[in-house]
Structure 1
Amino acid sequence: MFLQAALLMFHSCLGLCGAAAQHMELERIKTCGIKCSQDLQCNTKPAYFFADSCQMPADGLTVSSVFRNLSFSTVMTCEGHQRCSLHLGIHTTVQLPESIHGLSVCSQTPGMLRKCRIVRMSKASRRMTSGMQVELEDNCTDVYPQQQVKVTLTTVPSYCGITQSGNYVAPDCSWKDLRRLVPECITGSLSYDINAERKELRVTVSDMLDDEDYQLRLCHKDFICAGTGANALIMKEEVNKSAILPYFRPLPCLCIEVKPSGTQFPHRESPLKGSLIPAGLVCGDGCSQSAGLEEMWHGIHFDTSAGVLSWEPACPVTATVALCQRGGEDGVCTDLQQASQNVSRGKITFAQVDPHPQLCMKFRAGHQSWIRCPFVGRFQAWDVTVMRHADHKEAKLTSHMNATFSVHACAPSEGPAVCRATGTHAVIYVGAHASVGLNVTDTHSCFYVRRTDVTYAPTILHCLTEERSEPAALFATPANQMLIAVIVPVGLWLTAVIIVTLVLHVRLTDSAPVCDVSQHRDRRSAL
């Protein structure tokens, strides 16, 4: 219990100390420089030459006898409103004998050349402070937010092994002082309204740099933030600094990125984590394993020529993708054997897939699962048709492509979902746009049919009770094509003749003279 309490207090202290550090104010200085204690006058000059080879130190001269400690801090100089810069403060305590004339202070950042300065004291000062501890403070090393710096102190002249070094990381832009005063960190404050119906975000930026334009865009956060194409520019002259950004899908990694046009340090927010997406999804930290992943399972693609089914996640996600066969009314999707893959970022593929409507993809993340059936409503590659005749039924297997099928006969025992094997098995090859008859020995027989020329295929149950009153082949045979070629033109010709005849009849009827009955009567009376 004591150990658990101690660990809890330790983690709480880390969080509180980190949060408090972000609200600390950095020390302000007017100008940078080097100061030495004991009222010593320290002179500095840049060192543009390579370090001289070291010489062996005198007896009794060790690292601990010269350098006592080394610490770092960050200080700030400001030239006006929102125009502050950061400097690395180097603090050390040294004990300089008369054989050491000064120190070399070198700093180096990743990818940059080393910069050095020589700090010297006069001979009179060295005599006066011989055997005494001297504090040295140097705050003229420029740094940028979150920059890593390695500092090395050596003696002048250089004595082998008498060096002291340390590493430091400058504060990042989460510090309050940096967000308000350092241009690289002043990206403004974001606020946004979501129009879920129109799929738009109205983004407003405040607390901006006074003389900078701002670039806004939507991006998907992973190792980098990949743009979605939605972007806008807010000009510094605009009074209402807002813009509308359309989005396609509310993915968990969808973020707003805003940055001044003159800097490379963007600021990002996740606009959808509390509205369209359930809480708990944080921009850039991947996807939650409990909720909010409904929009992730899009982008399933099938290459019809190669028979390859693929899917690539739009956001980083820890999930399992499997192929499964969907059942009847219960909708249960049973996993196929050895058809499961783990995914986090890269594309997953299943080669040699039978594109049948009952073949689906099952996505599992955490304790949830989602089913997507990419072949429903598409052109079916093969099917079994059952036709009823006067005295018998006929079953045909029709295929759109060259394929091999395994057919197992069975008889239903407890409904159509349960089928008892009868021992009859056949391997059938069906050519493209062709049909093959299935041997029907029992009016209640069923067939389990599965493609065997592919790696991933469902096993489909077809029963003779699923009959059709007329043949309904998936593809036209050559005989049918010839019959259609003759009947269709003749039918169109007859229809055109009938329409022309009716039109002429109507026009002749309208133009015929109308008989005047009164004149006819007068003629009869005259006779």
Structure 2
Amino acid sequence: MAMGTLWQLQFDCFPAEAGQRVLVSLKTIPDGVLSLNQSLVVSNKQSAPEFQYTWKPAERAIEVSVLDSPNITVRLCHQLALECEELRQPFHQQAEVSIHQPAQLPYELLLPCLCIEASYNHQDGLRNKVCPFKDQQEAYGPDLWSSTWFQDYSSIDKAEMVMSLNGRCPLHPNVSLCWKESAAPEATCQDIPNSTVSGSNQEYIFEEVDVHPQLCFKFSFTKGSHIECPHRIDPAWNVSLSVKFLQLHLHFHSRIPGASFSSAVCQWLSPSQCELEPPVYTVAHPEGLGPGDLDLILPQRVLRSCVLVWRSDVHFAGKQLLCLDVSHKRWGLLALGLVLGLLVVAILLVRWGLCRLQRDTPSKHHSRPILLIYSSDSEEHKQLVCAFAALLRSALGCPVLLDLWELNLVGRLGILPWMYAQREHVGREQGQVLLLWSAGSTRAYGLWQGKAKAGSGPVPEPHDLFGAAMACLQGELWDTPGTVRQSDWVIAYFSKRCGQRDIPRALRFLPRYRLPQQLPGLVRVLQGPSSSTPSWLRASSKALVCRLLKAERKGGLQSHPYQPWRTTTGRPCSTCSSQTAQAKLHLSSSC
């Protein structure tokens, strides 16, 4: 007490008009330490001080001066709702201004809420406040966002992105999501359509989101914007790209139960724009299984393009761009040394290759669609179906209708409407329905007829592709009791997967083809008597089955229908390696 006043009490501002009485009461807990009761009548004879200011951006300061008024005290502050909050040290300072002596007030950050406040030196004088940067574009730049604190509450388990902000200036920005191409600060952030949300208490929440370090918040305020990405978020899934057996393989590793992923071809329109092209290919974890690995096989034509990959079971997700690395520098030196020696050979082979390609490739004008039906034996079997469908499409130049390539459409329509719509399209275009039979198909056929023993294995879905196809086939084959008419259905089976006896007796009157031995006959049925089988197609189909069998042996799996295995991959086995190499060589030259 002997040293004078050692403390100062500051209360939030409230408006007071001239002539009003203001009462201030103060007491401490416990009682008796300090007590204060004072009143004040607001004067009605006061005027606010007038001043001039000059902004000096190079010195990051504001100079304040007066012309003919008494001395005043000035300071810089940040204007909030009612109160003008003082700047933090060392920028919190008050300076006296006279006619002969202006004051220069330094500031730390140029903000729209930065104001100059002036008052007379006598007690309870009115204050005058000017905020010169409220409408200045320079005040909405980097300083504004560096003065804002962002707190991230995003959760991968909840598929939810949450960000709250607290700044020196009151902000109410528009918030949306964007996908940042890389972690570099200068990388562009592509806007996610229809992802704008309104905040509550400066907190912004996005639900059903693929929480990813590259999926970021975009805060837009006035004419400026700021990108803020999730903090300390490890990706919940990743994908790798490779070429295996003349097809593009996407390998997903995910720790999200029930997640699904999609991919599509991407064609470059400009150095910074890559447009998605249909169709969209989708793969998903089987229901009831936890996280794990997934494989998605894309057809051969994708090898000439980049692909976009994204998580498709959420509302908001960024699309990752993946391209094959063809800059094999080590091969470049070898190619440079051989180019002169191969120049003469290449000229001779061009003419021969063009003739062979014209002979092996049928005219697309006369191509007929093929609807491919199969039973869901395993994930490995689905890979075989996808690969075989891609080979048929590449070799015959005809559209192959496969539910695994149209999962988005199947999801919207349902498997039964999709199946009957494709069957009607095939009939209208004079195409063929190819029933790819396997050992699992035999059991699925028994379950469909209700002849399988109870408890002998898991029961398939009541409305799956195979069951819908059998119902459609039965309706077409028997228009009236006891009468069987001709149909455009055909059965094919791989000799390494099952035998002719595995086909039910009721279906043995349909054309049946053993693969790869009877592949030429199957091609003539699918595309007409004048069609020819490319020389590499038989070796490729045989190598596909060989690779599948090796994958099953490697994983210790038994061929059992409707078993939700985790996908395994492997190279073609040794007995098929030479044929596989020939097939690869031919496809590469054709491409």
The TM tier, using the shorter chain, reads 0.3 to 0.5
Q: TM-score, normalised by structure 2?
A: 0.36
Q: Which has the higher strand share?
A: 1
Q: Which has the higher helix share?
A: 2
